Amino acid sequence: MKLSKILALVMALVMVFAFAACSKAPAAETPTEAPTEAPTEAAPAAPEGAPELADCTGKFEFAAFSFKVNDVEINNDLMKDATMWKVKDLETVNSKGNASVSTYSGYAIKDVLAAAGCPDATKLILTCNDGYEIEFTIDDTNAPYCLVAIEKDKELAEEGVFFAPCLEETSSNYAKNVVSITAE
C-alpha cells in the first residue's frame, strides 16, 4: 500500500510540473526585417548629468581647419573618416559666475590623439594662439566628452580650434584658438 501512495504522489508532482511548463508564455518572436537605415556609431554611455552627444557625421562639412598634436598636423583630410560629434545647449559658468549656453561640433579627443599617433596619451597641454596654456588630464570617463571642436555656435575659432571638456561645468578648462596640443 505504501508503494502505491508514493507512486501516486510522484505522478501528481510530475503532472504539476508538466502543467506549469505548459503555462509559460511563448518567447517573443524576433523581427526578421532588415533595418531601414545603416547603423551609426552610438554615443558612449553617459555619466549622470552628462550632456547629450549626437553623431553628426556626414550631416555637414567643416571649413578648413588645422592645428598640431605633438607636431603632427591635424586637418580636414586626416580626420575625414572620424566620427563628428555635436553637444547642444552645454551650460558653463565663468569665473565671474556668469552662465553661458553653447553648442560645440567636432571630434572626440581620443580620435584626434589616435590620428596623431598617441592614442594612449592622458596628459594634455593645450596651447592657444596667444600663448595661454591649459594642462588637462583625460580618462575613460571624460575622454568621450572632450571635444576638439571645429565650431562653437556655428562659428569657427579665429585661429586653431576650440577645446571643450563637456563634463566640466566651469569654463576654466575650455579654450579657443588652440593651435597645438602636447600629449603624453
- Cα–Cα distance between 175 and 177 in angstroms, integer? 7
- The count of C-alpha atoms lying within 13 angstroms of the C-alpha of 85, restricted to the half-sphere facing its C-beta, is 24
pLDDT at residue 43, as a whole number: 52
- Hunting for cell 552628462 — which residue is that? 50
Residue listed under C-alpha cell 573618416: 81
- Assign a CATH topology to domain 53-183: Sulfite Oxidase; Chain A, domain 2 (3.90.420)
pLDDT for 95 beyond 60: yes
The dihedrals phi and psi of 169, each to the nearest 5 degrees, come to -95, -15
The answer, as to whether pTM is greater than 0.95, is no
Residue 142: all three cell numbers together = 571624460
Give pLDDT, residue 28.
42
Question: Of 31-35, 48-52, 87-91, 128-132, which gets the smallest average pLDDT?
Answer: 31-35
Residue located via cell numbers 507512486: 7
pLDDT number for residue 16: 47
Q: What is the pLDDT of residue 25?
A: 44
Higher pLDDT, 169 or 33: 169
Question: Which alpha helices (H) appear in the chain, and where do they start and end?
Answer: 2-22, 76-79, 109-115
What percentage of the chain exceeds 70 in pLDDT? 75
* Cell numbers for 173: 578648462
Distance CA 87, CA 104 (A): 5
